[in-house]
Structure 1
Amino acid sequence: MRIPRIFTDSPLAVGSQCQLDDNAANHVGRVLRMQAGQALLLFNGDGQDYRATITEAGKKHVQVDVTEASENETESPLRVILAQTLSKGDRMDYAVQKAVEMGVSEIVPLTTERCEVKLKGDREDKRLRHWQQVAISAAEQCGRARVPEVQPVMTVQQWLEHAQACDLRVVLHHRTEQSLNTLEKPSSIALMIGPEGGLTAEEIALAEDNGFLPVALGPRVLRTETAPVAAIALCQWLWGDIGA
């Protein structure tokens, strides 16, 4: 039987007892309906997986004994920061989920001139918490030991400043002949993805002024939620751990 893999904010150490945080306890006790004596595989973002046995289980309270730790080697050597323009419906969820599966390190929700989604106040906070939970669930499913952080929503200018620490900075733009496989290998890359209508000429120019290279992924125009999956997969194949 497959052992459930669960993220928890709680500190973990071999030989210790741990009370799972509210989200993890709710998932284990209420959703999975697990009982004392059953095994879990826990992780908290420190790069290790922890094998544990449930000692107490309720709908809101779960306590475990941590029995074993092992290094998790699923993280890519390539650091990828994704700026994904906000989109309607479940398209943003899809982009976050698949980006995590592809090995993204950090996700920045982006607002641009042609962005159809406007978030602020409580609504923004609620969506950020939701996307962070999407990232957690994706990390649980794909076996990662670190959960990419979903940053607060940024403007284009804020994002361009945020990305300056990356070796390579790329803005996807289908009206260019430059491709990723013509670029030198970086240790970190910032990817900027526009909305359905594309980034404006002014936004592309501003990105270029801040050291971003316009890059195309091929002859076809990709949807905003498809573009990050294709781009990150290609980056991981060229410079990361896909096909390694």
Structure 2
Amino acid sequence: MQKFLINKEALSADKAAIHGQDAKHICKVLRLKPQDTISMTDGHGNDYTGCIDKASFECVEISILSEKKSLTESNLDLTLCTAMLKHNKMDGIIKQITQLGVTRWIPFYCKRSIPLSGQKKEQKQIERWQTIARESLKQCRRSCLVDIMPPMDFEQVLLFSKACSHKFAFWEASERPLTGVLPKENNKAVVLIGPEGGFEEEEIRLAVESGFISYSLGPRILRAETAAVSACGLIQYLLGDMGGR
């Protein structure tokens, strides 16, 4: 059953409401009606099962039957930092990392990244990325939205990473393979992926000085978006909930 995202403002102790396109989808596509059950999440790790009371294209009113903590969220607090790429490539990354259980995503600027021109354009992109994250959450039945953070510069990303126990910088010039990584008491990890053309050596040097370890993703050169998704899957396998531990 598809999981729907509900706003906390539309949720009370025993009632919920779904509006807009989701309400239309429930009625027109899924053809759900009163007395049918529906699965929901608040996007903050709580899941709900409800019974539809009233259904229209504008609003679906629901009685809450049960509430529980999600079982689909990783034990790993995983942050992915990707250098800015063309917009459609960034859209694809968000879809994939939502499925992989990433906690937050930080786009950033470095010497070879693609710039966004102007604050209005940047805000518009952030809103678009948040919409993609919401839609992806419903598809893969997660219960926590990926935290889409505003674009940072490279130095800000390194500063953010100070609180993380595991710091991975994937770089095509590295010869270090990604082998068994032992979990630490603070199970927070950050993954650094460069732009098309890769990081400059000076950027990797600064990352290493900030506690990152430079790793390889194998003998082939990967596209930046492929590297981002592959790296997150590997880290979830080693440290998270995808079967490696």
Match of 2:141 in 1: 143
SS at match of 1:75: coil
In structure 2, C-alpha distance between the alignment counterparts of 1:150 and 1:88, rounded to whole Å: 17
Aligned to 2:157: 159
TM-aligned CA deviation for residue 59 of structure 1 = 3.0
Is the 2:37–2:52 contact (alpha carbons within 8 Å) kept by the matching residues of 1? Answer: yes
The residue number in structure 1 matching 2:80 is: 82
Give the CA deviation at 1:38.
3.3
* Equivalent position SS for 1:74: coil
Q: Aligned ranges for residues 86-105 of structure 1 at < 5 Å?
A: 86-105=84-103
| Match runs of 1:85-234 below 5 Å | 85-181=83-179, 183-186=181-184, 187-234=187-234
CA deviation digits over 1:122-181, x for unaligned, max 9? 211111111112122222222211111100111101111111100011211111121221
Instruction: Spell out the pairing of 1:11-22 with structure 2 (5 A cutoff).
Output: 12=11, 16-20=14-18
Residues 167 and 188, structure 1, Cα contact 8 Å, conserved in 2: yes
Give the equivalent residue in structure 2 for 1:7. Answer: 5
Does the residue aligned with 1:204 lie in a helix, a strand or coil? helix
Which amino acid is the alignment partner of residue 57 of structure 2?
A: K
Which residue matches 2:242? 242
- 1:64 Cα shift? 1.2
Identity of aligned residues (%): 29
Distance 2:162 2:219 in 1: 29
TM-score, normalised to structure 2's length?
0.88
C-alpha change, 1:120 and 1:24, in structure 2 (3 Å) is farther
TM-score for both structures, normalised by structure 1: 0.89
Q: Which runs of 5+ in 1 are unaligned?
A: none
Q: CA RMSD in A?
A: 2.2
Q: State the shift of 1:24 in Å.
A: 4.5
Shift of 1:214: 1.0
State how far apart, in whole Å, the 1-side matches of 2:169 and 2:21 are.
36
Report SS of the residue matched to 2:105: strand
Greater mean deviation of Cα atoms: 155-164 or 81-90: 81-90
Q: Which moved more, 1:175-184 or 1:212-221?
A: 175-184
SS in 2 for 1:170: strand
Asked if structure 2 preserves the Cα contact closer than 8 Å seen for 1:111 and 1:153, the reply is yes
Number of aligned residue pairs: 241
Partner Cα distance (1:120, 1:242) in 2: 39
